[in-house]
Structure 1
């Protein structure tokens, strides 16, 4: 789907996913700090008009959006003036619609106003960015809704292409021949082993990513990949843990970050 362009200058991109749960259950997952943190990024939400949504993407990258519409459990809009460096504010609208069979559709619309297509690529990239996280959202709501959760995120930046970065990352983790359906077991030095099953290995215009469901060190999900992100090449491991063992499993975050930083040393200025 391309960017929708309107005569008013509004440009928008829409992504949606069907998930299990009531509107109230889904709202808790997409509009509260603990809920968003359980499937996306560590996040804090001040849920009210005039409040804010702040998500921590690691390496000092924290987004900040002001809530302009707050209509639980069906709709919120937040405007971020920092997303596009030197660009217009981006409004993000979240809509929850009830469907039959105990399911809901979650729809996300990113929009901005501009007279040129200068920013189209950046908002259009959300079409390939959201689906991986939406798989985790669906998994969380299906199997772990309401449970305690904790996350471990590690991020590094490198040079080259996403495919080159993925090959390096996969080789270091013993995932060079990874494919859907395989058992997963990886254990960098100093970390607890990740064990589970590989759900998908996917290539997109933005990069390469692997999604797995975890059994150890706690039930959960893993997103591992290399992507072009806002003009940078980012390598990331995003581990989501649920249940009684979640907090203990997430204590490895610093070790994962140390390992990833050693595997991908920061590029040196020319």
Structure 2
């Protein structure tokens, strides 16, 4: 039996409403901070698509008010589950914006665990959006990695792997901590911790990229990397991160 859910979030962003709109309501903009490869037909009733890991999911645009409101909804599955998303944009003095976000719909039998994951995950993705708008606004990611590793139940092991690849020591990680990202097959890069929610999410920014390390629903380990340099072939980026996941959690 499907279960109704709703997540509501609000975030202040160092960007204009127009810049926020480009980031949330255009395919290249969404690619630069969210996940997968996205396309958005710019009108109410238009179609959206997200391609990720060989699968494509589609939705319908249910509200389209440029610079103000954008919403879309997936089709209802045979079991009655679906998801709907709404973004409300409000400009503030000084060129900043408040973004209000609503994610609702119906979840399936594992709804409690899914809901817990969504409540945290939605907030972390909005934090990642803020990192993009503050540091890479107007730029489009040349490639975005969504690398999925194995299911690992040991939270301490996963968090230690995240901190080790960033040159951090200890479980206590704070916003602003400097990092040294070192992954075999990729050039090393200095960066900073943008947000940390122990033991599930760790967001990092370098001069040319945004990274998010996730220990998510059903203990899946995920690495995301949005590369703005274009200096490394996308296939090589994917391969490097998949290789790291395989070695680290063998």
TM-score, normalisation: structure 2: 0.81
Question: What is the aligned counterpart of 1:54 among 12, 32, 49?
Answer: 49
Residue 60 of structure 2 is aligned to residue 75 of structure 1: no
> What's the CA shift for 1:173?
5.9
Aligned residue for 2:246, secondary structure, equals helix
Distance 2:246 2:150 in 1: 8
Tell me which moved more, 30-39 or 144-153. Answer: 144-153
Q: Which runs of 5+ in 2 are unaligned?
A: none
Residue 232 of structure 2 is aligned to residue 255 of structure 1: no
Residue 119 of structure 2 is aligned to residue 134 of structure 1: no
Residue 156 of structure 2 is aligned to residue 156 of structure 1: no
Aligned length: 242
> What's the CA shift for 1:36?
0.7
Look up the match of 2:182: 187
> What's the CA shift for 1:198?
2.5
Report the CA distance shift for 1:250/1:222 in structure 2 as closer, same or farther (over 3 A): farther
Question: What is the aligned counterpart of 2:215 among 221, 226, 231?
Answer: 226
Look up the match of 1:17: 11
Report the CA distance shift for 1:168/1:85 in structure 2 as closer, same or farther (over 3 A): farther
Per-residue Cα deviation, 1:74-103 (whole angstroms, up to 9, x for no partner): 112211237x88342221111111222211
Aligned residue for 2:139, secondary structure, equals coil
Per-residue Cα deviation, 1:172-210 (whole angstroms, up to 9, x for no partner): 66545363344312323222213212234322xxx4222
Q: Which runs of 5+ in 1 are unaligned?
A: 1-8, 266-270
> What's the CA shift for 1:64?
2.5
Distance 1:99 1:117 in 2: 41
Please say if residues 19 and 104 of structure 1, whose CA atoms lie closer than 8 Å, have aligned partners that are also in contact: yes
Distance 1:39 1:142 in 2: 12
Q: Is the helix fraction higher in 1 or 2? A: 2
Report the CA distance shift for 1:136/1:148 in structure 2 as closer, same or farther (over 3 A): same
Report the CA distance shift for 1:123/1:61 in structure 2 as closer, same or farther (over 3 A): farther
TM-score, normalisation: structure 1: 0.76
Report the CA distance shift for 1:102/1:168 in structure 2 as closer, same or farther (over 3 A): closer
